[in-house]
Structure 1
Amino acid sequence: MSQENYAQISEVIESGDEQALIDLFEEMPAADIAGFIDENFEIYESLALMDKMSPEVQAEVFGYLRPNNQQVLASHMEVGLLAKLFRDMSSDERADVYALLDVKLQDALMRRLAKHDRDDLLRLSSYEEGTVGSVMTSDYAVIPASGTVEHALRRLRQTAPEKETIYQAYVIDNDYRLQGVVSLRDLITAAPHERIEDIMVTDLITLTPDMPQAESARIISRYDLIAIPVVSETGVLVGIVTFDDAMDVVEMEDTETMHKSATVGKIEGGLKDASVGMLYRKRINWLVLLVFANIFSGAGIAYFEDTISAYIALLFFLPLLIASGGNAGAQAATLMVRGIATGDVTRSDWFRMLGKELLVSLGLGLTMAVAIALVGSLRAGPDIMLVVALSMLAIVLVGSLIGVMLPFLLHRLNWDPATASAPLVTTIADATGVLIYFGMATSILGLPNI
């Protein structure tokens, strides 16, 4: 939130003017109010602030709070007040909050909700996490295919306050099967007597509830959609995914990908609220595994002890060469993981991307070989300079190819390509780089490799 809004809320709270605080909450964006509560979270103070909001503002603010804070506040609310809050929240947000509650509170809450709200909440919360069903909403406008424009507009006026979006109205038949969609602009510009079935768009892009949630964001972005309908196998309209929901999915997916690329597991509730124990558990497995993987680098160095003893100057260039290979591999892996995630790169692009990376890495390797050769000429003799330059070319080339191939290999095995993270690629490139460097030195300098 902006510092100006933060200071404004703090000033009004300190003044003790309750009416000014109520008026401020009516005017200020709900996201900024939620940001203030999150940053200054104390259970009873937060509940007292929310008590100064209208039911509509309270529901909107609650939806913007961090999940951990939502869970704590909900557990400290009287069940009747929580039920009232749920009735004012959007369907997808209350389903998310419901999933955070313990079973006892869920049961108590259900007894306070109307049957329609209860059925809707159970349906939305039943979908598996990470699927389209888990992020869709039931707050959308529907109109019958057999009606007229005048009838549709009258219906929208009646239902608009309860819906998340009315810019598109979904046309259904008597069995709630999706027939088409009509934009609000088309309804306004059409003649009142025109029939909906004559002006609706029937060539629709749809999703199913069991599809990965990332697919909804990709399709909405690709086709510049405001929302996309979700239908069952029989064509029944079960929900929609809106643009703002898709943006939340993008943020979650990007965060998860970044965590995987750093060999960190998924952190529930965000970094700020994560416990020390959770952060330890999410990070320790890969770190221990990579420790043992780095033993191969040490074994490679030990294997070439005679070469190193004869030319101590080789050790000066070891960190430069190994780091260069790891960095090049990490760059290539990052590009491939992102390309696969966005659909820009598919399995059929394997040989094309491999060939392209071969040319790019050759260029990179030659440039870096020239740079390291200049350093080598000052630090050691021409023989070692040649070893270092050729090693740089080979190490960068191999490291880059490892960075390209590993995500493709994991993708082909139906594993998450993000697992081909920078630490993993770097570890493999390091071990390979040690063997290339000292193997080349032994060959060129004519020393035994025992």
Structure 2
Amino acid sequence: MDTIRTAPGAVDLVLFADLFDAHAADIVARLNEEDAETAAAVLAHLPLERAIDVFDRPELARAGDLLIDLPHERAGEILKGMADDRAADVLRALDDEDRSELLKRVDFDSAWPLKRLLAYPEGTAGSLMSTEFVSVPATYTVAETLRHIRDVERTRETVYAIHALDPKTRALLRVVTLRELIIGEPEQPILDLAPDREPITVRADVDREEVARLISIHDLLSVPVVNERQQMLGIVTVDDVIDAILAEGSEDVQKFGGVEGTTEPYLGTGFFSMYRKRVGWLGVLFISEMLTASAMQHFENELEKAVVLTLFIPLIMSSGGNSGSQATSLLIRALALGQLRLRDWWRVALRELPVGVALGASLGVIGMVRIAAWQGLGIFDYGPHWELIGLTVGVGLIGIVTFGSLAGSMLPFLLKRLGFDPASASAPFVATLVDVTGLIIYFSVALLILRGTLL
């Protein structure tokens, strides 16, 4: 075992001896806990095939930076051995200068497919696809196809789907599964084994969510990516889609909390990066909350006359924000799964309106019962007009929860129509919106019910 201890801060590889025979996933987990210098030193001394397996794992943090830190020849060998789609993902995370530097470390034949994949926008089928797929002329027999698979198996992303191409135009005609191929007779044409229907395909510019939907509903292991002439550009495998959707899901969860989406591990995110991703939303929300203060100033006289109303402001505001957050979460999920289209906004509004009224009425009854119980048990004295105060709270909750449900359900449609990610309709944003309008609704109801008594 090599030991590097020639300079202060150098790495003693003896401490990582157990990793040299470990599974790639275990190596990734260990290296993610180490600093970049240590991780790069270990990767530089791993057997080449094992190092390639490690870099092929999407869970490896700072993969691009680690490649840059490796010796030139070693980085080139690893990049060349990686699956094209994974290598493209790693390169896409780097800046232009580092990306160009790494591409110089591989030969033209290896760099060309990577450059082609990098040309596709992130989040599309083209950016996810692998160019390493199994294809044969449609005139091949079962025996010829099996022989071809044995020859190319090590260089292909998957061999479970065999793509039969027109010998002249190279257009995709049929897709044959490995199971169908194995049960065929050796001299049988592979087209005889293929289902008698056009294969499910996508274009390179299709969003990854649509690719995931097709793979899910058709129970596919991969989906071919084709051009306008039905010629194959690559395939998107189910594991690529899962990795992409998991990454997008993590970003969406972060956006729900009012944080700019990031794929970096929490501990791997620097101070300034963490600050930048959080300060923007906090600033927007803080400025928005200033409107809440303005609304309360507008009702200053009412507050002075009926201080008891202030006791229920947190209750009122949180209930509206919670109902809005519920509706937003449901609608964002439905839009992401393709269950709703933009033109369905009015159907959603008609659905959320009675739901919001029912939810608000339920909370209103609970609030009124609570006020009556506290008054009757002598826990708190709301004054001679406690019944009207209870009615104010109950009616106010109906109005605020209904508005919250409507606002929370319509905001994702609005953002999607404007070209923004609906996940940006985060819970804090909806809550802030409902806070301002909720105060206006609450005090407007109070003016109507308590006029001539407390107000």
Partner of 1:442: 447
User: Where in structure 2 are the equivalents of 1:305-344 lying within 5 Å?
Assistant: 305-344=300-339
User: Relative to 1, partners in 2 of residues 1:108 and 1:299: Cα closer, same or farther, differing over 3 Å?
Assistant: closer
- The correspondence of residues 254-265 of structure 1 with structure 2, limited to 5 A, is 254-265=249-260
Match of 2:194 among 200, 207, 212: 200
Q: Which moved more, 1:341-350 or 1:426-435?
A: 341-350
Q: Determine if the alignment matches structure 1 residue 234 to structure 2 residue 212.
A: no
**2: distance between equivalents of 1:105 and 1:419?**
31
User: 2:63 maps to which residue?
Assistant: 70
Letter in 1 for 2:342: R
Q: Is the 8 A contact 2:175 2:194 kept in 1?
A: yes
Flag the 1:431–1:106 CA change in 2: closer, same or farther, 3 A. Answer: closer
Structure 2 counterpart SS, 1:122: helix
Task: Kindly indicate whether the alpha-carbon contact (under 8 Å) linking 2:44 and 2:71 is maintained by their aligned counterparts in 1.
Answer: no
Question: Structure 1 residues 102 and 277 mapped into 2: Cα distance closer, same or farther (>3 Å)?
Answer: closer
1:141 corresponding residue in structure 2: 134
1:294 maps to amino acid: E
Q: Percent identity?
A: 33
User: 1:366: how far off?
Assistant: 1.5
Quote the residue 1:370 is aligned against: 365
| Stretches of structure 2 lacking an aligned partner (at least 5 in a row) | 1-11, 375-379
**Which of these residues, 73, 80, 83, is aligned with residue 73 of structure 2?**
80
1:39 to 33, 38, 54: 33
Query: Partner of 2:32: helix, strand, or coil?
Result: helix
1:290 CA displacement: 2.3
Q: Per-residue displacement from partner, 1:374-411 (whole Å, max 9, x unpaired)? A: 22222421121111111112111111111112222223
CA contact under 8 A between 1:79 and 1:108: conserved in structure 2? Answer: no
Is 2:177 the counterpart of 1:183? yes
> What is the distance in 2 between the residues matched to 1:262 and 1:76?
34
Q: How far apart, in 2, do the equivalents of 1:106 and 1:395 lie?
A: 52
Q: How many Å separate the matches in 1 of 2:279 and 2:189?
A: 63
Match of 1:132 among 120, 125, 129: 125
8 Å contact kept, 1:442–1:449: no
What is the CA distance between 1:207 and its match in structure 2?
Answer: 1.1
How far is 1:212 from its partner? Answer: 1.7
- Which whole-Å CA distance do the structure 1 matches of 2:35 and 2:58 have between them? 10
Q: Contact 2:75–2:105 at 8 Å: present in 1 too?
A: no
Partner Cα separation in structure 2 for residue 145 and residue 132 of structure 1: 25
Q: Quote how far apart the aligned CAs of 1:285 are.
A: 2.5
- Which residue of 87, 101, 113 maps to 1:94? 87
Offset of residue 325 of structure 1 = 0.7
Cα gap change, 1:365/1:101 in structure 2, threshold over 3 Å: closer, same or farther?
closer
CA deviation vs aligned residue, 1:238-295 (integer Å, no higher than 9, x gap): 1100000000111122122223323322325343322222222222223222222223
Q: Which amino acid aligns with 1:418?
A: A
Structure 1 stretches of at least 4 aligned residues deviating more than 6 Å after TM superposition: 13-17
- Aligned residues between the structures: 432
Partner of 2:219: 224
1:110 CA displacement: 4.1
TM-score by length of 2: 0.88
**Aligned-residue offset at 1:107:** 4.8
Please point out which of 404, 409, 412 is paired with 1:404: 409
Question: CA 1:42/1:282 → structure 2, altered by over 3 Å: closer, same or farther?
Answer: closer
- Structure 1: runs of 5+ lacking an equivalent: 1-12
1:289 aligns with 2:289: no
1:421 aligned onto 2:415: no
| Alpha-carbon offset, residue 326 of structure 1 | 0.8
Query: 1:17 and 1:395 mapped to 2: Cα distance?
Result: 59
TM-score by length of 1: 0.89
- Contact map agreement 1:169 1:181 (CA 8 A) in 2: yes
- 1:112: Cα distance to partner? 4.6
